[in-house]
Structure 1
């Protein structure tokens, strides 16, 4: 009877007469000695790895070739479109078997004729010439050409006579350069060599 009364009156405590050495229990029957929770075992955490930044790929820069402008073709001048030829012959009335000039008093002929032929006759404004006598005592000179009538393709000028010089008795070379000037201001030259003959007196 005591055991039943105990169970009815004190549901949270065990009767002193019927429990022996067993400790008190909660109403749910869990021993008080087992009510404490077990502390969780800590989990070891390693050091956080350092992240190495990954370099971003650099886009290759392509150099575009510079645009080239087509070369403009230059118009040819009047001088570039024609020819100039020069020759020296004996003067008017003299033998055409011409090999060179003599100094005055040293033989014949003592003067010659410079003939300049120009291809583009209508475009010629003037013709001039210069000469260089390559002798031990060199000398030089210049002159201008004249046309024959309306034919501007042929220009004439006289060469000589040259004064005798004893130091030039052996003669030498005469270089003649003729230059045609055109209406656009351009020039074209031609050249010929002839001889100053040895003195025969």
Structure 2
């Protein structure tokens, strides 16, 4: 039995075979053959999950950093230089003392003086001693008698020879006054004046004794 081939059919089969030959590699790559998964054009396996790009995070409006609060600091105490000390005067550099005694030739047991005619002694001796004798120009004193009828007075002192460190003066006698028969206190203030014009004072007190008529 002779099989007569149909030329038209032969051309169709040939075309089909040619097409399959051209498509076969692509089919194998797409899973048409074999057990390997198809490959993407860039060589990444289809079984691998594609890399998921992160979703851009929405950024809110930019907030400025808070302004730092200024811290108030205390200023260091202002130091002022001490004023230059002035030179001390002669009076400031000296010493001065004053006392009242019973006077020359009188009893040493002196407690005060009497008014004239009311007892003895009736006058006292004021003695002023100065530390810087060479710088003294003069010495004076004043007194205040605290009696019911008060009175006061003043006097000057004198030196003994060349000793300008000791100055003497008399206190009293005082005229008798019946209103002051009970006596009182006598306050004495001595003042020394120095060659530079400065002064220095000293004080003491004694008593005016009660009248003993």
Q: Same fold by TM (over 0.5)?
A: yes
Alignment match of 1:50 (pick from 61, 69, 79) = 61
User: Match of 1:29?
Assistant: none
Alpha-carbon distance, 1:57 to partner: 4.1
After superposition, the Cα gap between the structure-2 partners of 1:74 and 1:50, relative to the gap in structure 1 and judged at 3 Å, is same
Alpha-carbon distance, 1:65 to partner: 4.6
> For residues 166 and 189 of structure 2, what CA distance do their matches in structure 1 show?
15
The correspondence of residues 3-82 of structure 1 with structure 2, limited to 5 A, is 49-57=60-68, 63=75, 65-82=77-94
Alpha-carbon distance, 1:147 to partner: 1.4
- Per the alignment, in what secondary structure is the counterpart of residue 92 of structure 2? helix
After superposition, the Cα gap between the structure-2 partners of 1:76 and 1:49, relative to the gap in structure 1 and judged at 3 Å, is same
> For residues 79 and 172 of structure 2, what CA distance do their matches in structure 1 show?
61
Alpha-carbon distance, 1:127 to partner: 1.1
* Higher helix proportion: 2
Alpha-carbon distance, 1:56 to partner: 4.6
User: Match of 2:190?
Assistant: 178
Measured on the aligned residues, the alpha-carbon RMSD in Å equals: 2.6
User: Match of 1:83?
Assistant: 95
The correspondence of residues 187-198 of structure 1 with structure 2, limited to 5 A, is 187-198=199-210
After superposition, the Cα gap between the structure-2 partners of 1:113 and 1:66, relative to the gap in structure 1 and judged at 3 Å, is same
> For residues 182 and 61 of structure 2, what CA distance do their matches in structure 1 show?
104
Alpha-carbon distance, 1:47 to partner: 9.0
Q: Are residues 1:160 and 2:172 paired?
A: yes
> For residues 48 and 92 of structure 1, what CA distance do their matches in structure 2 show?
115
> For residues 67 and 172 of structure 1, what CA distance do their matches in structure 2 show?
54
Alpha-carbon distance, 1:163 to partner: 0.9
Q: Which moved more, 1:156-165 or 1:67-76?
A: 67-76
State the aligned residue count. 157
> For residues 87 and 141 of structure 2, what CA distance do their matches in structure 1 show?
27
- Per the alignment, in what secondary structure is the counterpart of residue 51 of structure 1? coil
Q: Are residues 1:110 and 2:151 paired?
A: no
TM-score by length of 1: 0.67
After superposition, the Cα gap between the structure-2 partners of 1:72 and 1:195, relative to the gap in structure 1 and judged at 3 Å, is same
Alpha-carbon distance, 1:97 to partner: 3.3
Runs of 4+ in structure 1 off by over 6 angstroms are 45-48
- Per the alignment, in what secondary structure is the counterpart of residue 167 of structure 1? helix
Alpha-carbon distance, 1:122 to partner: 0.9
After superposition, the Cα gap between the structure-2 partners of 1:60 and 1:114, relative to the gap in structure 1 and judged at 3 Å, is same
Q: Are residues 1:149 and 2:161 paired?
A: yes
